[in-house]
């Protein structure tokens, strides 16, 4: 009798406990239906989807095909595998089914192609699109204007080779760094009307890179941060190299190029915020003549604002004018050295008085 009762109770328990195929944690869909993706929700019931374990484009598409999503509006989608899966190499149209996202993070994959309609469902919701560090050589840049709330787009360290004019009324941050061979024109950023932060570093291969930057390309109305480090920019920075219309620049990074000098108005005449920083570390600058550098230094007020470390400065009579003006000298990074590793700030003014009879130049 007891054995019969126990068996009956066990049968009842098995009947009411859902199988793995039935399990889901509301408001997420059934776990096994979206495998290998994982859905989670926070206390405010924002939904997050992580598909980092997908091993092929087909497997990823299957996770969304025919799945009964209780809710399709996700806060974010993440695909960041520990090791790239060679068969996950494209994101075709429809791969994400009916779902929409506010943020998308995809990195460290072998994905090379993203089709025009792949993210169409998120045109009205996506504010962050981070596609850094993949193998993307095909991306529909011409569709950026369809994303009505997109504020940040990062596609750094991919293989993009063509870049049409960027058209967007919402984009604030754009990172194209590490895409070797991209060509900029005077109109590349003209139609990105709210662009503030622009990252274009490491766009080189050997001696080929951003060696020829057209005039006016950086006359972007609200430009605040510009990163052009690790390129092959050489010679003298041209007149109005950077000169945003609203003049709010707070950071310009030109580290590790081959810059030898700057035009007196390379940074405009009032292009920088008074608290701005300009880094020219690791270039080929030898002279700091008053004619060429005073205009830049006059635009900033803060100490260490202009970083000239790791340049082969000769520190001859060309720096005498700085020795006579400690406030201006302090605007140059305090660790800036001359060719002999002597700190610029430690040079004795008496030497210049004796050896520069014509005075400051």
Domain ranges across the chain: 37-355
- CATH number attached to the domain at 37-355: 3.80.10.10
| pLDDT reported for residue 210 | 67
- Whether the CB-CB separation of 12 and 56 falls below 8 Å is answered with no
Which tens digit of pLDDT belongs to each residue from 66-82?
Answer: 778 999 999 999 999 99
Q: Using 50, 70 and 90 to split pLDDT, how confident is the model at 311?
A: very high
User: What angle (nearest 5°) sits at the alpha carbon of residue 294, between those of residues 293 and 295?
Assistant: 95
- Whether the CB-CB separation of 317 and 291 falls below 8 Å is answered with no
Which of 45-54, 199-208, 211-220 has the highest average model confidence (pLDDT)? Answer: 45-54
For residue 25, pLDDT over 60 is answered with: yes
Average confidence score pLDDT of the chain: 89
Q: What is the C-alpha end-to-end distance of the chain, expressed in Å?
A: 110
For residue 241, pLDDT over 60 is answered with: yes
Q: Using 50, 70 and 90 to split pLDDT, how confident is the model at 283?
A: very high
Cα 103 to Cα 126: distance, rounded to the nearest angstrom: 6
Give the 3-state secondary structure percentages of the chain, helix then strand then coil, rounded to 5. 20, 20, 60
Residue 212 or 21, more confident:
212
Cα 213 to Cα 100: distance, rounded to the nearest angstrom: 38
Residue 175 or 242, more confident:
175
- Cα torsion for 189, 195, 201, 203, to the nearest 10°? -30
Residue ranges of alpha helices (H) inside 81-231 are: none
For residue 203, pLDDT over 70 is answered with: yes
- Dihedral sign for Cα 254, 255, 257, 258, please: positive
- Dihedral sign for Cα 327, 333, 334, 338, please: negative
If you compute the radius of gyration of the chain from its CA atoms, what whole number of angstroms results? 28
- Whether the CB-CB separation of 201 and 233 falls below 8 Å is answered with no
Share of the chain above pLDDT 70, in %: 91
For residue 205, pLDDT over 70 is answered with: no
- Whether the CB-CB separation of 71 and 101 falls below 8 Å is answered with no
Phi, psi of 154 (to 5 degrees): -125, 120
Which tens digit of pLDDT belongs to each residue from 153-168?
Answer: 999 999 998 899 999 9
Q: Using 50, 70 and 90 to split pLDDT, how confident is the model at 13?
A: very low
Cα 175 to chain centroid distance, Å, stands at: 3
């Amino acid at each position: 009798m007891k054995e019969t009762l126990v068996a009956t109770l066990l049968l009842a328990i098995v009947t009411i406990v859902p199988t793995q195929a039935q399990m889901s944690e509301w408001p997420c869909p059934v776990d096994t239906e979206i495998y290998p993706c994982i859905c989670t929700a926070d206390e405010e019931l924002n939904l997050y989807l992580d598909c980092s374990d997908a091993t092929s484009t087909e497997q990823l598409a299957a996770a969304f095909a025919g799945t009964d999503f209780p809710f399709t509006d996700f806060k974010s989608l993440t695909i960041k595998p520990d090791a790239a899966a060679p068969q996950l190499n494209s994101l075709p149209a429809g791969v994400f089914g009916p779902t929409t996202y506010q943020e998308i993070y995809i990195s460290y994959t072998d994905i090379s192609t993203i089709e025009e309609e792949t993210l169409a469902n998120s045109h009205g919701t996506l504010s962050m699109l981070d596609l850094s560090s993949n193998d993307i050589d095909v991306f529909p840049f011409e569709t950026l204007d369809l994303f009505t709330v997109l504020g940040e787009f990062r596609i750094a360290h991919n293989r993009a080779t063509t870049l049409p004019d960027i058209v967007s009324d919402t984009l604030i941050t754009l990172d194209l760094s590490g895409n070797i061979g991209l060509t900029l024109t005077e109109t590349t950023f003209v139609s990105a009307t709210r662009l503030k932060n622009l990252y274009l570093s490491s766009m080189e291969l050997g001696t080929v890179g951003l060696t020829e930057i057209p005039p006016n390309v950086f006359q972007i109305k609200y430009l605040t941060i510009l990163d052009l480090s690790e390129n092959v920019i050489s010679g003298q920075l041209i007149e109005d190299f950077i000169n945003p219309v609203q003049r709010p620049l707070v950071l310009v990074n030109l580290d590790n190029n081959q810059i030898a000098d700057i035009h007196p108005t390379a940074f405009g005449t009032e292009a920088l915020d008074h608290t701005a920083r300009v880094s020219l570390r690791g270039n080929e600058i030898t002279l700091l003549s008053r004619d060429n550098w005073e205009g830049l230094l006059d635009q900033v007020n803060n100490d260490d604002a202009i970083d000239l470390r790791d340049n082969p400065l000769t520190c001859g009579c060309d720096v005498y004018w700085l020795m006579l003006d400690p406030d201006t000298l302090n605007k140059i990074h305090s660790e800036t050295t001359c060719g002999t590793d002597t700190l610029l700030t430690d040079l004795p003014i008496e030497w210049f008085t004796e050896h520069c009879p014509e005075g400051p130049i």
